[in-house]
Amino acid sequence: RDFVKNMITGTSQADAAVLNVAANDGVNAQTKEHAFLAKVLGVKELIVNINKMDISGVDWSEDKYKSAVEEVSNLLKMAGFNPADIPFVPCSALAGDNVFNKSDNTPWYSGPTLFEAIDAVEMPPKPTDRPLRLPIQDVYKISGIGTVPVGKVETGVLERGKTVVFNPSQKSAEVKDIEMHHTSHAKAEPGDNVGFNVRGLAADDIRRGDVAGYSDSEPTYVRHDEHFVGQIQLMDIPKAVSVGYTPVFHAHTAQVAVKFMELLEKTNKQGKEANPSFLKNGDACL
């Protein structure tokens, strides 16, 4: 469970991802979970690493590779990805085949190595013209420096000397300095993972899950006594879910307990049903 929380935090800050699938095992419950989470969390580009091609029973078989590709492709279609745009790389991480260099064990494969596929990932455009949004991953108290929140700039531009607002904590402070890779910068743009020193706030004034923005376009948020309508997909729930269910809701770096107040509609293989009394695995619901 803790691993999934960390995976969600990391994936929420990623533009691309590598999905590892063992050639001898194929798709399992965790593969499904990670594929759907990657799509929901905004990953635009995906690479599939068909690993353990050297293991006994697989032995660099092209048929085993094609079988794994077909199985993973079906899953990715369900998650909302287009398999035609995704490289499926047959690898042995242990031996290094098709990781850096082309392998002699896969004469039937003409695609890229894993590192070639990663290098081919296109950088997404930077939405610098949109309001600043910087989800806070952690907050540190550094001796001699002060309070340092860290996170990734999603939109807009973080600038030294400007005052930022942290919501939902509703605290504001001046940005004294911005640092990336131990180097000071005057500004940070979308895609930059930064630490920034703020003036006039203690470390416990801000918390993980807050979002930084400017006062003329503050980040919006749902208050503890407010409701919102969400679309959900049940994937691996051991029992039926009904009104009153209290899961943990993940949004960027925030993790907050929520409560189901009303089930408006569910969709499954049998069709749609208004105001259902319960949900089960495989159901989608509003």
CATH topology classification for 134-217: Elongation Factor Tu (Ef-tu); domain 3 (2.40.30)
Residue 264 identity (one-letter amino acid)? L
Residues of the chain with confidence (pLDDT) below 70: 1-2
Give the start-to-end residue ranges of the domains of the chain: 2-119, 134-217, 232-285
- What fold does the segment set 232-285 form as a domain? Elongation Factor Tu (Ef-tu); domain 3 (2.40.30)
Helix (H) or strand (E) holding 178: strand 171-180
- CATH of range 2-119; options 2.60.120.1440, 3.90.1150.10, 3.40.50.300, 1.10.340.30: 3.40.50.300
Cβ neighbour number for residue 29 with a 10 Å cutoff = 9
**pLDDT by residue (tens digit) across 172-184?**
999 999 999 989 9
> What three-state secondary structure class fits 81?
coil
Per-residue pLDDT reduced to its tens digit, 119-173:
999 888 899 999 999 999 999 999 888 999 999 999 999 999 999 999 999 999 9
Q: Are 173 and 164 in contact (CB under 8 A)?
A: yes
Burial of 84 (0-12, 13-18, 19+ CB in 10 A): exposed
Same fold, 134-217 and 232-285: yes
Q: Dihedral through CA 284, CA 267, CA 222, CA 12, nearest 10?
A: 30
> How far from 102 is each of 22, 49, 60, 106, 110, CA to CA, in Å?
19, 14, 13, 8, 9
